[in-house]
Amino acid sequence: MRYAVIGLGAIGSVIGGILAKSDEKVILIGKKNQVEEINKKGLKINGLNNSIFVEKVHASSDLTLIKDSDVVIICVKSQDTKNLADELKKFIKKSALIISLQNGVRNSKILREKTGNSVISGIILFNALYVKPGEVKLTLKGGLILETNNFYKDTIKDFSEILGKFKIESKIVTNIEGYLWSKLIVNLQNAVTALTGQTIKESLIDKDSREIIIAAMDEGLQILKKSGIPYKSLPDIDPKITIRRLKILNSTLLKLGSRILRLNENARGSIWQSLNRGKPTEIDYINGEIVDLANKNNLEAPINKKLVELVKEAEKTNKTKSYEPSKLKKILNIK
């Protein structure tokens, strides 16, 4: 089996590194600075079975090199999916399976429509921090949800078994749509940590940040419900239960809980990481998705709408701390 991993941020580096370490035939496609560093110094993943280092990795910025790949794994930001798909269809073979391991709910449909290939969605349940080109850190251990496809059943099974050897267990489901929406609701907290500059752990312990996260997630769930969109609970994470726990647990218990979950002190959301790297964020495909859904159904999502606006302001200067939590809470009119 020949693999290609496109996008060498935190997630792409973890997945690509595992495949390379497993001696699979894999080509990693990324930006020039990433590729040069990886080809010169290898790829290091800290926090995965302590740490793994892959000395010899085939990385390139040349998308034509995916032409012989049987499985193409997409790890780019959601805002880059359309342009990538337009290029992908020129080189990808029609028998190749595309696996989208991206945030948001639209990517697989875009990839399927533009390439004509079979596409399945995957949901990442671990957290990884992009340290620098060629080095990432696993900051929260977890697994993966993969969509099934009867024609590619063995291919999906083989991929999940490779990840399983590194303690990233896969749950394979027939209908992933409800899980995608559930992950999106959980990811609404990403905007909050991006604006306060807090780690995920700090945001859960801080009373004001916690109340903002609760309000954003609760608003998101209400929009889903009123729009007639069901969600399915992720393994160990149900948005409703998460909201309930955040409401009743105090900072001390939440701090203890984060230790039990082995949430690393440095765990960061993807939107903060994009701002920190001076890159556009996925805000339109996370909190913005709730705003779009509300607009389509003549509903209002004022909290998430404002969070989108504030993150877009932060993008102009790449600020990784725009507001103190108490000030942000006031701006969002959360009592």
Q: What whole-number percentage of the chain has pLDDT above 90?
A: 82
* Type and span of the H or E element at 36: helix 32-41
Nearest partner of 179 among 109, 136, 234, judged by Cα:
234
pLDDT of 94 > 50? The answer is: yes
Options 1.10.4190.10, 2.40.40.20, 1.10.1040.10, 3.40.50.12280; CATH of 179-331:
1.10.1040.10
| Euclidean distance between CA atoms 262 and 264, whole angstroms | 6
Options 3.10.20.30, 3.30.1330.40, 3.40.50.720, 3.40.50.410; CATH of 2-174:
3.40.50.720
Within this chain, domains 2-174 and 179-331 share the same CATH topology: no
In this prediction, residue 248 carries a pLDDT of 82
Of residues 48 and 91, the one with the higher pLDDT is: 91
In this prediction, residue 254 carries a pLDDT of 60
* Mean per-residue pLDDT, 36-65: 91
In this prediction, residue 264 carries a pLDDT of 72
| Euclidean distance between CA atoms 167 and 165, whole angstroms | 6
* Mean per-residue pLDDT, 78-101: 97
Could you tell me the residue ranges of all domains in the chain? 2-174, 179-331
Beta bridge partners of 132: 135
* Mean per-residue pLDDT, 126-152: 93
What's the mean per-residue pLDDT of the chain? 93
pLDDT band at 19 (very low <50, low <70, confident <90, very high): very high
Please write down the long-range contacts of 112-117, taking CB distance under 8 Å and 24 or more positions apart: 114/82, 114/85, 114/86, 114/88, 114/89, 115/85, 115/88, 115/89, 116/89, 117/92
Q: What is the pLDDT of residues 95-134, one digit of tens each?
A: 999 999 999 999 999 999 999 999 999 999 999 999 999 9
Task: Please state, as a whole number, how many other Cβ atoms lie within 10 Å of the Cβ of residue 102.
Answer: 27
In this prediction, residue 117 carries a pLDDT of 98
In this prediction, residue 140 carries a pLDDT of 82
Q: What is the pLDDT of residues 257-276, one digit of tens each?
A: 554 345 677 889 999 999 99
pLDDT of 249 > 80? The answer is: no
pLDDT band at 51 (very low <50, low <70, confident <90, very high): confident
* Mean per-residue pLDDT, 201-229: 95
pTM, entire model: 0.93
In this prediction, residue 261 carries a pLDDT of 47
pLDDT of 20 > 70? The answer is: yes
Q: What whole-number percentage of the chain has pLDDT above 70?
A: 95
